[in-house]
Amino acid sequence: MPRTSIPIDPIHHLSVLDEHGKVDRKLLPAIPPEKLLRMYATMVRSRRLEESMLRRQRQGQMGTFAPAMGQEACQVGAMAALEERDWLVPSFRELPAALWRGAPMKNVFLYAMGFEEGSEVGDPDRDRVLPISIPVGSQACHAAGLAWASKLKGDGAVAIAFFGDGATSEGAVHEGMNFAGAMTLPAIFFCQNNQWAISTPRRIQTASATIAQKAVAYGIAGVQVDGNDLFAVYRAVSEAAERARKGEGATFIEAVTWRKSVHTTADDPRVYRTEAEEKAWEGKDPVVRVRRFLEAEGLWDAAKEEALVAAADREVNEAFDAAVAYRDGDVDPLEIFDHVFKTTPPDLLRQREQARAWIGGRRVIIGAGKAKTKPGGAAAVGELEEADDAPSKKGGAR
């Protein structure tokens, strides 16, 4: 047997509901209509919230953020397939997932306005959600550890980590997935391959034909799904969770999707993306696809849509106003000293006193009392200017 082939476990591709509304009934997961409608509502609420945030960011009412538009099916599909006890480990583009888990929109705005308050959850023991983690690739190891804790405690919980196509190039993602494989941990690594890492196309990240096949390196299950297909995602994650809970270990899921909007509000995709690409993806919007399905099933109509959108917009506006009221209220700028250690050491208390003396009566919270529509806020000198100084300066939503 001098030159032989090594057998390799197959990597599957999964799709259930295509862009023309064609559905594979055999694979369609059995989701109660009530839950399905909540899933759809979450997708719409997220979309409306982000549209509002893009506007408000351009008006200088909040800082930069990374919109998830186009990736709602990935996140809502995945989270809906899991349980409350399961851990959500997000990156920085996981608004739909957070909303599914009950994050108040006020917190979303607070975070975007630069307040740690936005990362708070209701009950840190019950709300199994980690805060936004911006270092690309950092999520995999944290999820492996959470999954490991759950395995040690035997509580049946699964941990899901979200990250992007770009993140798969990071060593930390490799280490986390390999760890989870080697230790048979109940973890799900969910890669939203949205085709771009800022301006870097998927093709530049890796020579592997699919991202899903990276699972082969870790001896874990690997699946590629249509990430704009709510049901394919739901099914893949359900199956992964089942495997995990049965003690069969981790799964790596590549969800093929597309970042509809900017990388962050500081980015201008027109520099690096073609119109042809935008055209090609336009027809695949995951929200529209679910709506069509719901309508075909007789679960949805124009009036319901209108009511949903109106309610979402109301929720968004109320949340924004509440966040502004918080920001403009009696916020302690020196609270930053209070959450560094369990008990603040004497030296930090002294630094806090120095800071208090120096600030005196000055107002140092950034944005506080800011006119709601000051234009070009974030573009002023000394503020975040990742964007070009070209005409399309603020790289608005596309």
Partner 1 sequence: MSHGTANPAVATVTEPLTMVDAINLALAHEMAADERVVVLGEDVGVDGGVFRVTKGLQERFGKARVVDTPLAEDAIVGAGLGLSLGGMRPVCEIQFSGFLHQAFAQMQSHAGRMRSRTRGQRGLHFVVRSPSGGGIKALEHHSESEEMLYVHTPGIKVVMPSGPRTAYGLLRASIREGDPVLFLEPKGVYRAFREPVLPDEVLELGKARVVKPGKDLTLVTYGAMLRTSVGAVEEAEAKLSASIEVIDLLTLAPYDADLVRASVEKTGRCVVVHEAVKSGGLGAEISARLNEECFWSLRAPVARVTGWDIPYPLYAREKAFLPDAERIVAAIVATLTAE
Ligand X SMILES: Cc1ncc(C[n+]2csc(CCOP(=O)(O)OP(=O)(O)O)c2C)c(N)n1
Catalytic residues: 259, 263, 272
**Interface stretch with ligand X, choices 74-82, 135-143, 216-224, 326-334 (CB under 6 A):** 135-143
Residues lying near Mg ion in the complex (CB under 5 A):
164-165, 194, 196-197
Q: How far is CA 248 from the centre of its chain?
A: 26
**Interface stretch with ligand X, choices 94-102, 189-197, 354-362, 381-389 (CB under 6 A):** 189-197
Candidates 41, 385, 393, 398: give the one binding partner 1 (CB under 8 A): 385
Q: How far, CA to CA in Å, does 158 sit from each of 3, 33, 358?
A: 41, 25, 48
- The nearest distance, CB 146 to partner 1, in angstroms, is 4
**Interface stretch with a second copy, choices 117-125, 142-150, 167-175, 187-195 (CB under 8 A):** 167-175
Name residue 341's amino acid.
Answer: F
DSSP 8-state assignment for residue 7: P
Please list the residues that pair with 23 across neighbouring strands: 17
- The nearest distance, CB 201 to a second copy, in angstroms, is 11
Q: Site residues for a second copy, window 204-223 (CB under 8 A)?
A: 204-210, 212-214, 216-220
Q: How far, CA to CA in Å, does 223 sit from each of 9, 16, 176, 190, 233?
A: 11, 14, 18, 10, 10
Using rule CB under 6 A, residue 263 touches ligand X: yes
Using rule CB under 8 A, residue 216 touches partner 1: no
Q: Site residues for partner 1, window 118-157 (CB under 8 A)?
A: 118-121, 124, 130-138, 140-150, 152-153
Partner from partner 1, a second copy, ligand X, none contacting 2, C-beta within 5 to 8 A by type: a second copy
**Interface stretch with partner 1, choices 95-103, 234-242, 279-287, 384-392 (CB under 8 A):** 384-392
Compute the distance between CA of residue 398 and CA of residue 395 in angstroms, rounded to an integer. Answer: 8
Contact 217, 224 (CB under 8 A): no
- The nearest distance, CB 13 to a second copy, in angstroms, is 5
Compute the distance between CA of residue 74 and CA of residue 93 in angstroms, rounded to an integer. Answer: 11
**Interface stretch with a second copy, choices 30-38, 49-57, 178-186, 299-307 (CB under 8 A):** 178-186
Q: What residue is closest to ligand X based on CB?
A: 164
Interaction pattern, residues 310-349, with partner 1; x per rule: CB under 8 A: -----------------x---x-xxxxxxxxxx--xxxx-
Candidates 19, 41, 130, 174: give the one binding a second copy (CB under 8 A): 174
- The nearest distance, CB 174 to partner 1, in angstroms, is 8
Using rule CB under 8 A, residue 90 touches partner 1: no
For the beta carbon of residue 228, count every other beta carbon within 10 angstroms.
30
Using rule CB under 8 A, residue 267 touches partner 1: yes
Compute the distance between CA of residue 385 and CA of residue 394 in angstroms, rounded to an integer. Answer: 9
- The nearest distance, CB 280 to ligand X, in angstroms, is 18
Compute the distance between CA of residue 354 and CA of residue 81 in angstroms, rounded to an integer. Answer: 51
What long-range pairs does 33-41 form, CB within 8 A, spacing at least 24?
Answer: 33/299, 35/80, 36/294, 36/299, 37/294, 37/299, 37/300, 38/80, 39/76, 39/77, 39/80, 39/100, 39/230, 39/290, 40/287, 40/290, 40/291, 40/294, 40/300, 41/308, 41/312
Compute the distance between CA of residue 157 and CA of residue 119 in angstroms, rounded to an integer. Answer: 22
Using rule CB under 6 A, residue 196 touches ligand X: yes
Q: What is the dihedral of CA 168, 173, 175, 176, to 10 degrees?
A: -140
- The nearest distance, CB 312 to partner 1, in angstroms, is 25
Compute the distance between CA of residue 139 and CA of residue 309 in angstroms, rounded to an integer. Answer: 33
User: In the complex with a second copy, which residue's Cβ is closer, 235 or 327?
Assistant: 235
Candidates 172, 355, 365, 379: give the one binding a second copy (CB under 8 A): 172
**Residue 193, SS3 per DSSP:** strand
Using rule CB under 6 A, residue 164 touches ligand X: yes
What angle (nearest 5°) sits at the alpha carbon of residue 259, between those of residues 255 and 262? 155
User: In the complex with a second copy, which residue's Cβ is closer, 59 or 169?
Assistant: 169
Interaction pattern, residues 71-100, with ligand X; x per rule: CB under 6 A: ----------------------x-------
Residues near ligand X (CB under 6 A) are 93, 134-137, 163-167, 194, 196-198, 259, 263
